[in-house]
Amino acid sequence: MAKKFEEFNLNRQILNAVEDAGFTEATPIQEKAIGPVLSGQDLFGIAETGTGKTAAYVLPILMQLKYAQGDSARALILAPTRELAMQITEHVKLFSKYTDLRTVVVYGGLGPKTQIEQIKAGVDIIVATPGRFLDIYLAGHINTQYLKFLVLDEADKMMDMGFIGSIHRILEIVPRRRQNLLFSATMSDLVQKIAGDFLKHPTIIEVGEQATPAQTVTQGMYEVPNFKTKINLLQHLMKDVEAFKRLIIFCKTKTVADNIFSFIERRFGADAVRVIHANKGQNTRINSINSFKEGNIRVLVATDVAARGIDVTDVSHVINFDVPIIIEDYVHRIGRTGRAYATGDALTFCTPGEKYYIEKIQKLIRQEIPVVPLPAEVFVDETPYEEKQAIARAIDDQKRKEDPDFKGAFHEKKHAAAIAAAARNKTNKQPAWKKKKFKKSK
């Protein structure tokens, strides 16, 4: 039987805010984490995305901070992306609505002036991306000496994005006596390293198997020969408006994301779709996510930069238009559906050049992704020559990763061509007397 929030040692202001938000029973990560955090322990939480881990650390931190005090921050929450930082801030403000605690979010992508002004006006909790936090600190606008709580959320993504140096610099400028909380969906070598540097005798909490997709997500995979067939398949699926009512489409690159956006806009109308990636302005990204949350648009096309910053209920489908190269991102992508115990579907389009990553993903999640037959109505285009070559090169590169001595089909062709060319050159370079045929004298 799930524990009710009333059973935790939380004050009435927080419980009222939790009730207003519509939460009554704690999720497993909340049930296991809230007690140890309240008692002052360092904590290492391993939990799949969409399990409510933000509330698992925000609620006990709010309980211990209680009310606004002084001008300097007493809690610092670090997140890898601006979208996730904004999402965490929304949760903090939601749960602290009946307190006078002050929260400021700082991230890059826009000028720091407003963020600095908000910090100088007095702050209790800072939610930040590591780079922007360091920029403002080094400019002399943040006092860290009163920090009591330091949280690293989505630590695995931070390591993937190369933030380990920034994290170590931040650890040097915060007080030694503090409570540390680290949360991650996967356990990579780098996450274990930062955990060793960061945590002191932590309580380790694991909810579900590491890197296991939520049980509420139904997975499926379509094997397709090329990009054009992926487009044909997407168009076919989207015709079913009732089933595919709210979907996120993940792409590997900004170019593909823009192409998919343009295609959907032409076929289904400009009011149906938005696209977010690193080249989009901050306000554009915020407005697109809000439009999707409010149900004003049916489709959100995104690159992985946004995979962990979208917290939207009732997403019917996640479509992996491309298989992610960073295999851990698969778990985070499909975790955008089936959130908060709702059900959802995650469909992956896989070309022969992407099967290598599917095999790696299946090892990571310890599950086989079921292959779904391609619908008869989907036209299978012939693969253009350039795409065939690109797929063949990708497969060679993948084999070379597994076997450094593998030379590849391209290498063999080049080698054969080089031998033939060398033979021709040798013949051409022979002296004239060797080429000349002499008649035998009688």
In a domain? residue 243: yes
Report pLDDT for 441.
47
The answer to whether residues 202 and 221 belong to one domain is no
In a domain? residue 434: no
The answer to whether residues 124 and 85 belong to one domain is yes
Residue 315 Cα to chain centre, angstroms: 16
In a domain? residue 441: no
- Indicate if the pLDDT at residue 322 is higher than 90: yes
The tally of domains found in the chain comes to 2
- Indicate if the pLDDT at residue 434 is higher than 50: no
Cβ-based neighbour number of residue 169 at 10 Å: 14
Report pLDDT for 406.
72
User: Nearest Cα to 73, choosing from 134, 37, 121?
Assistant: 121
Provide the pLDDT confidence category of residue 377 given band limits of 50, 70 and 90. Answer: very high
- Indicate if the pLDDT at residue 272 is higher than 70: yes
- Indicate if the pLDDT at residue 67 is higher than 60: yes
Report pLDDT for 423.
60
Residue 77 Cα to chain centre, angstroms: 18
Provide the pLDDT confidence category of residue 87 given band limits of 50, 70 and 90. Answer: confident
Residue 25 Cα to chain centre, angstroms: 27
If you average pLDDT over residues 401-429, what whole number do you get? 61
The answer to whether residues 196 and 255 belong to one domain is no
Give 101's DSSP letter.
Answer: -
Q: What is the mean pLDDT of the chain?
A: 86
CATH number reported for the structural domain that contains residue 87 in this entry: 3.40.50.300
- Indicate if the pLDDT at residue 82 is higher than 90: no
If you average pLDDT over residues 281-300, what whole number do you get? 86
In a domain? residue 418: no
The answer to whether residues 133 and 227 belong to one domain is no
**Which SS3 state, helix, strand or coil, does residue 371 take?**
strand
If you average pLDDT over residues 217-225, what whole number do you get? 95
Lowest mean pLDDT among 261-275, 360-374, 406-420: 406-420
Domain boundary among 359, 374, 397: 397
Domain that holds residue 203: 5-207
In a domain? residue 280: yes
If you average pLDDT over residues 88-97, what whole number do you get? 92
If you average pLDDT over residues 301-330, what whole number do you get? 80
In a domain? residue 53: yes
Report pLDDT for 330.
86
The answer to whether residues 56 and 110 belong to one domain is yes
In a domain? residue 402: no
**Which SS3 state, helix, strand or coil, does residue 290 take?**
helix
The answer to whether residues 229 and 349 belong to one domain is yes
Q: What is the pLDDT of residues 117-145, one digit of tens each?
A: 999 999 999 999 999 999 999 999 999 99
Provide the pLDDT confidence category of residue 193 given band limits of 50, 70 and 90. Answer: confident
343 vs 42, more confident? 42
Q: Cα-flanking dihedrals φ and ψ of residue 71, to 5°?
A: -110, -15
Domain boundary among 207, 226, 257: 207
Two tokens, residue 51: 């399990």
In a domain? residue 438: no
The answer to whether residues 183 and 88 belong to one domain is yes
Alpha-carbon gap, residue 380 to 125, rounded angstroms: 54
Report pLDDT for 42.
94
- Indicate if the pLDDT at residue 430 is higher than 80: no
The answer to whether residues 338 and 260 belong to one domain is yes
Domain boundary among 173, 207, 241: 207
Check if the beta carbon of residue 157 is closer than 8 Å to that of residue 308: yes
373 vs 195, more confident? 373
The answer to whether residues 228 and 202 belong to one domain is no
Q: What percent of the chain has pLDDT over 90?
A: 53
The answer to whether residues 28 and 167 belong to one domain is yes
The answer to whether residues 188 and 259 belong to one domain is no
Two tokens, residue 334: 């499909």
- Indicate if the pLDDT at residue 439 is higher than 60: no
Q: Could you give the count of Cα atoms lying within 13 Å of 83 in the half-sphere of its Cβ?
A: 25
**Alpha-carbon distances, residue 181 vs 54, 143, 164, 194 (angstroms):** 11, 20, 16, 12
Please report, for the chain, how many H helices and E strands are present, in that order: 17, 13
The answer to whether residues 199 and 224 belong to one domain is no
